[in-house]
Amino acid sequence: MAYGIIGRNRFMPSGLAQDGTRWILPLHVTLLLLLAAGAQPLGGIDRAMCQWDCGWYEQIARNGYDMPPRWTSDDYGQASWAFFPLYPLLLRAMIDLTGLGAHAAGLAIGAILFPVLVLLAATYMRDRVGDDGANGPFRTVMFLILPTGFWFRLPYTECLYGVLLLGMLMVLARGRTLAAMLLAALLCLTRPTGLVCVIVAALFHAFAPGMRAPGAGRPTRLVEGGVVILAGGTGLASFIFFLDHLLGDGLAFAHVQAAWGHQPHLPSFWIGYGFTHRRTLHLAIAALLEIGLIGWGLRIGWRMESCTLLATFLLAGSAGIMSIHRIVLGNPLAGMLLTIMADRAPPSWRRWLILLCLVLDCVFADSWLHGRRFLA
Amino acid sequence: MGGAFLPERSRRDGRTRLLGLAMLGLLCGLVDLAGLWRATHPHVGAAYRQLYLTPGGIVNGTTLRQ
């Protein structure tokens, strides 16, 4: 993120409308309406969208973490403290503020945050690769309809995480360190991978030559990067204190992962495992695609973004293959790399790429609404 | 004449900002150290230890399908 591209003095860029951001809300609402129409026979969009981990988040939002683990033979030992608290807190606040049910409140959070995420991503990409005519609108629309963006519409943590991550990167680049510290702490309260993202981004801020801005010398950058890492650690530490008070084990969120079959191994082990089991074959393929995407990102010079994704991949891939597609490809940095890849394809491919994304969106939505597990 | 003092004032503001950030960082660092200490010193019962802190302590449908 070179200074000349994302400068300290530019908070909100001019000419947003030229980026295709005017399409964000209409397109977002249209896709939501289509999703609602598809979900109508299944009991409504709010009910049909709440699958898998959504139930855990709702349980935490309603009852807090003070619930015993599950004891049935299938999920023996699984417990709510595997899930980080910020999203359930937001869900609880939305329920209390609006009077909506938990399903509808989760859907509303995604519906509000996703356009914000797209706006941040459009701004980030515009600052990163520049304004160039029709490419801005194409990038914005692509990011919005990417099949991997389906995770952002779910009542899951992905959208909140993405907004906090992009927000932190952008305010850090503009020298708004206090805001970056706050966002880093919140990011670390959202998902277990938050702290590695904060560390990589802050190290790049402190040391990468292209990140230095006029008037912000190395000592300033070192202090800014250092305090952002420490603030992220404080966010995680607050969850550790809470779990220590509740259970006597501050790392309970990590230890309980064993109940989901997560064990420490090299990512190569888990990828090999994925290829030898039919249930996880798609995850192993996704892991290889992610490695390819990260390599491509490094090649085109998106070093900080690619290293952040790599750190996320290594952390998640060291514990298991489950959900590796969602954890990495559901990160907005991966979404932006995919968008830039589409942007660099021949212009004649664009309409076909948009069509392909829309078709895949329909396939993913149908699969999710019917409770199939492959996106979970 | 006031303009001549601006660079000096700006430098002083910059130093004050850095000092403020460093103090805040120090506070965060202390909280982080306390969190690290709590994380590495669990105080749990035998049942919890057997289930979550012993490798292979949990066998359920999910782990068996792995």
Q: Is A233 on the interface with B (CB under 8 A)?
A: yes
What number of C-beta contacts closer than 8 Å exist between A and B?
Answer: 111
The rounded distance, in Å, linking the Cα atoms of A363 and A303 is 32
A153-192: per-residue pLDDT in tens? 999 999 999 999 999 999 999 999 999 999 999 999 999 9
- Which of residues 30 through 59 in chain B touch A, CB cutoff 8 A? 31-32, 34-36, 38-39, 42-45, 48, 51-53, 55, 57-59
Cβ-contact A190, A164 below 8 angstroms: yes
Closest CA to A38 of A369, A361, A376, A354: A369
Count the neighbouring beta carbons within 10 Å of the beta carbon of residue A221. 20
| A11 found inside a domain | no
- Residues of chain B with Cβ-Cβ distance to A178 below 8 Å are 24
Q: pLDDT at position A376, please?
A: 80
Interface predicted TM-score (ipTM) over 0.90 = no
Contact yes or no for A259 and B38 at CB 8 A: no
- Over residues A208-226, mean pLDDT: 78
3-state secondary structure of A216: strand
Average pLDDT of chain A is: 90
Q: In chain B, which residue's Cα lies nearest the Cα of A68?
A: B48
| A253 found inside a domain | yes
The minimal CB distance from B52 to the residues A220, A223, A256 is found for A256
| A3 found inside a domain | no
DSSP string, A307-344: HHHHHHHHHHHTT-STTHHHHHHTSHHHHHHHHHHHHH
| A337 found inside a domain | yes
| A300 found inside a domain | yes
- Over residues A133-142, mean pLDDT: 86
Cβ-contact A288, A107 below 8 angstroms: no
| A9 found inside a domain | no
B42-60: per-residue pLDDT in tens? 999 999 999 999 888 887 7
Spatial neighbors of A192 by CB under 8 A, at least 6 apart, are: A84, A253, A254, A315
Q: pLDDT at position B56, please?
A: 82
- Over residues B37-45, mean pLDDT: 95
Residue A272 has pLDDT above 50, yes or no: yes
| A116 found inside a domain | yes
Q: A185 to each of A8, A198, A228, A242, A358, how far by Cα in Å? A: 22, 9, 8, 15, 35
Least confident segment among A65-69, A105-109, A119-123, A306-310: A65-69
Q: Is B28 on the interface with A (CB under 8 A)?
A: yes
A86-134: per-residue pLDDT in tens? 999 999 999 999 999 999 999 999 999 999 999 999 999 999 988 766 7
Domain that holds residue A122: 16-375
The rounded distance, in Å, linking the Cα atoms of A349 and A200 is 34
In chain B, where the domains are located: 2-65
